[in-house]
Amino acid sequence: MMSLPFVYTLSSIRGYSVVWRNADNKVVKQAIYNNAKVFTPKFKTEFDALSELPNGYIYDLHVINSNKVSKILCTKREKLPPL
């Protein structure tokens, strides 16, 4: 009896937020997702796009995903205290 191999596709899943820390374990940037999009698959280039956001802020992220558009809207919530 021959069995077919399983095919898995791996994709990253969004959590509640992404936090960047420096070597002293201080938060340098945080991006927080809207609750409706937590635990949904990330876009392929999403982490790279978030990495390009300037340090020193907390961002609110709103995921826009339709048949025509797949984007992340980032708004600054607040400035982080100086390190």
Q: What pLDDT, on a 0 to 100 scale, did the predictor assign at position 9?
A: 60
Q: What pLDDT, on a 0 to 100 scale, did the predictor assign at position 7?
A: 57
* 61 C-beta neighbours (distance < 10 Å), count: 19
Report which secondary-structure segment, H or E, holds 70: strand 70-79
DSSP label at residue 37 = G
Q: What pLDDT, on a 0 to 100 scale, did the predictor assign at position 77?
A: 95
What global pTM score does this model have? Answer: 0.81
pLDDT digits (tens, 9 = 90+) for 5-46: 655 566 788 999 999 999 999 999 999 999 988 998 888 889
